[in-house]
Amino acid sequence: MVLGYRKGYSFERQVKKLLENAGYYVIRSAGSGVDGLSPDLVALSTTKKFAIECKAIESDYLAIEVPKMGRLLSFERSTGLPVYVAWKRGREEPVLVPLSMFEKKEKSFTLRRADARFGMEFHDIG
């Protein structure tokens, strides 16, 4: 298993457990990182429903390629489920940011870590 994949999968499992502990039923999309057709996780409760794309990236900014962001936005429109990106950097607490916080560039949509602080922390979603 490649290190980056293992790190990403480990973060997906961590997010899944955090959501389950908050009372959500969580579905992991098998192969989501391979085909990119859907977000990594779908979280459901009786009152809230949303999807999450997980990114464990050490950089000061997060970039999602235009085609991948297009698929996430399409998923959001067609399902009515808001899509958030869960971003974990090093030992910092992960944050959840909506797709609308990303800035469109030529080849990717980007988010600076400084701007990610305006997202939600996991204890905010309970």
- Catalytic positions are 32
Would residue 36 be called left, alpha or beta, if left means φ above 0 and alpha means ψ between -120 and 50 degrees? left
In 1-126, the DSSP E strands lie at: 25-28, 41-44, 49-56, 61-65, 83-88, 95-98, 103-104, 108-112, 120-121
d(CA 38, CA 54): 12
